[in-house]
Amino acid sequence: MLPVAVVISGRGSNMEAIARAAQAQDSGYRVVRVIADRPTAGGLARAAALGVPTSVVHLKEFSDRAGFEAALGNELDASGAALVALAGFMRILSPQFVQRFEGKLLNIHPSLLPHYKGLDTHARVLAARESHHGASVHYVTAELDGGPVIMQGRLRVRAGDSPESISARVHALEHIIYPHVCSLIARRRIEWRRESVYFDGAPLVAPLIEESDAAA
Ligand code: GRF
Per-residue pLDDT of 155-199, as tens digits, reads 999 999 999 999 999 999 999 999 999 999 999 999 999 889 999
pLDDT digits (tens, 9 = 90+) for 197-212: 999 999 999 999 998 8
Is residue 37 lining ligand 1, measured as CB closer than 6 Å?
Answer: no
Question: In this prediction, what percent of the chain has a pLDDT beyond 90?
Answer: 95
Long-range contacts of the stretch 126-133 (C-beta < 8 A, 24+): 126/157, 126/161, 126/162, 126/163, 126/166, 129/157, 130/157, 131/156, 131/157, 132/156, 132/157, 133/157, 133/166, 133/170
Is residue 10 lining ligand 1, measured as CB closer than 6 Å?
Answer: yes
Q: How far is the CA of 74 from the centre of ligand 1 (A)?
A: 24
Question: What's the rounded Cα separation, in Å, for the pair 118 and 102?
Answer: 21
Is residue 14 lining ligand 1, measured as CB closer than 6 Å?
Answer: yes
- Pick the atom of ligand 1 nearest to 43's CA: 12
Residue 214, pLDDT score: 52
Q: Which of 136, 174, 175, 182 to mutate to test the pocket of ligand 1 (most atoms within 8 A of CB)?
A: 174
pLDDT digits (tens, 9 = 90+) for 108-142: 999 999 999 999 999 999 999 999 999 999 999 99
Question: What's the rounded Cα separation, in Å, for the pair 134 and 153?
Answer: 5
Residue 61: pLDDT band (50, 70, 90) is: very high
Q: Name the residue with the closest Cα to ligand 1, atom 5.
A: 88
Average pLDDT of the chain, as a whole number: 96
Residue 24, pLDDT score: 86
By annotation, the residues acting in catalysis are 109
Which of 211, 178, 191, 209 shows the shortest CA–CA distance to 20? 178
Is residue 12 lining ligand 1, measured as CB closer than 6 Å?
Answer: yes
The pTM of this model reads 0.97
The mean pLDDT of 82-106, rounded to a whole number, is: 97
